[in-house]
Amino acid sequence: MHLAVAPLKRLGRETMPPTLRLSVPVAQYNCDLGRDDYCTESTGSESDDARSSVSNDDEQSDQVRSPTRLVYNLDALPEKTKSTVRDAFNEPPAMVVQHCRQVGDTFAFQMSEVVTRSVRIRAPSSGKARLSCSCSQSGGGAAGNNNDEEPCHHILWLLDQLAKQTLYDTDHEQPLTMTSAGFPEEMGDPFRAISDHHLNIVADGLHCRHVEPGCYDPRRVDKHRIRESRELLSSVYEASADSFRPDIFTDEPLLGPPIVKPQDLDYTVFRMLVDDDIFFHYFLSEACSRGSDVIHQFRLLTHRINAVLQDFDQQQQQQQQQQQQQQQQQQQQQQHNPLSVCSDEPNNNNNYNSPPQESSHTVSWAARHIQGVISLVRYAIWSGERPLQAAEKHAAAKTLIHILDCVLKRRQHTNNVVRGERGRGRVFSERNLFARFLGDADCGFVLDELERIPEGALPYINNLESMVDKMAQYGVKASYLHRFRKFMAQLKASRPVPNLKRESPDSDEDGGAFKRMR
């Protein structure tokens, strides 16, 4: 796993939060998607010249072009110094001058620099240093090797972020026990924690790109970042993210150059959010401080559920396709050998009841994430530093109701590997998510939390009524259904009832006339 700090362009440091002021506000990309801040926008021919200036031919030249587009003659320099200058200009450091002043007979310039660090977390069986960083701290960057070296601050920072993402069941009110390797005991082995959680789910929580092995492409569209950018921009206008700027956020947004679009600040900021990690995190921190960080957390939890279920559904679909292929093969074999149909011997080619192929996107894996997200929502409701505001209760209820709806929609998603195995010791709850949460067990799935925030669930009463009807059709346990209907009755009773007398000012006169006529 890599911990990288990306460049940022023209960001005011004086308004940055303290945690981000250590980063460099102005830097340059080393890829063709962007241009550095030390030069003006160049034409195609100028770009070709720039690229040619850093080619291998330049290694033999005594002239080099700097980031400011000046050309230097290196004839008078020794070879070692020439090499240093070439390296500095061909791959200039991502630096910016923060401020300058005069101190006596000295002019002082304070600069900061973005430095990319690579942190690696290896499996227990690797035999190498379990945790390592590319920085020079701890004897060449290795840390966590038999716990004989202290972890650097890069490793400590990353492990803290990973613990935040992967710990579900820990009591958040109690302090965690830090190990000498830099991670909490409650987290367990970091590699195993990431593996169980799944790296792509961790990446979404860290707001970073998940790169599939062997297919890194910096131009590949990051749909998760695009969605988050849309939510951030829409929050500035206090508008719905789903309907915000549909001309920008199409199914396949065009992310080619240029980044700056004349007379369209929304698009320009959107491109900066997508292209620049530091700017994105700065914008995110400011948006959360301006609004409700709790609401943002509920939104992220909803995204996590969607990502988990997307992987889960894809695995289910693959299993169904495999089953169909197996059935077709069996039918073809039976057509060529009809006697096998009447044979009392088991069909060795019948893989229907064969041991299942292990899958990482199992019912248990998806259920763990669902239970974990519900526990985080529960913690926000019960153990917050302050009572939730009305909008925050609505967001919490929306997340919980979304989870319930997702489970109901997957009632028919039967895991093929457990079909027909109830008699062989496989529990019924492993069939699908519906059976896991709303099957035989008597639990308060989602309802325990909704009962704590009934006013938050009130705007979604129509959705809940539809779900209750589905649960009745699907045969949900009677005690759970009765409790849910009781909750619905309380919601309906708490709805504001319009005052008929105020809405019909002539009602008294009509009633009086009726009485007089009678």
pLDDT tens by residue, the chain, 518 residues: 444 433 333 344 444 443 333 333 333 333 333 333 323 334 444 444 444 444 455 456 789 999 889 999 999 999 999 999 999 999 888 888 888 999 999 999 999 888 889 999 999 887 666 898 998 664 444 444 444 578 899 999 999 999 999 999 887 778 899 998 899 999 999 999 999 999 999 999 999 888 877 766 656 778 889 999 999 999 888 888 889 999 888 877 767 778 899 999 999 999 999 988 899 999 998 888 776 688 889 999 999 999 999 999 888 887 777 777 777 777 777 776 665 544 444 444 444 343 334 458 889 999 999 999 999 999 988 876 778 999 999 999 999 999 999 999 988 754 444 444 444 434 555 668 998 898 766 689 999 999 999 999 999 999 999 999 999 998 888 899 999 999 999 999 987 765 544 444 344 444 443 343 43
Q: How far is CA 34 from the centre of its chain?
A: 25
Lay out the sheet containing 131-133: strands in order across.
119-121, 131-133, 142-143
Q: Assign 3 to helix, strand or coil.
A: strand
Owner of token pair 């749909």? 223
Three-class SS of 300-342: HHHHHHHHHHHHHHHHHHHHHHHHHHHHHHHHHHHHHCCHHHH
- Cα–Cα distance between 219 and 33 in angstroms, integer? 8
Smallest Cα–Cα separation from 243: which of 253, 252, 233? 233
- Cα–Cα distance between 480 and 445 in angstroms, integer? 9
- Cα–Cα distance between 200 and 198 in angstroms, integer? 6
CB atoms within 10 A of CB 494: 12
Structure tokens at 363: 């019912």
- Cα–Cα distance between 62 and 77 in angstroms, integer? 9
- Cα–Cα distance between 139 and 72 in angstroms, integer? 38
Q: What is the pTM (predicted TM-score) of this model?
A: 0.72
Does residue 491 contact residue 454 with C-beta atoms inside 8 Å?
Answer: yes
Contact partners, residue 100, CB within 8 Å, separation at least 6: 107, 108, 109, 110
Structure tokens at 89: 């200009």
Report the b/e string of 183-216 with b at 16+ CB within 10 A. Answer: bbeebeebbebbeebbeebbbbbbebbeeeeeee
Does residue 246 contact residue 233 with C-beta atoms inside 8 Å?
Answer: no
Smallest Cα–Cα separation from 144: which of 187, 179, 176? 179
Structure tokens at 264: 């369209």
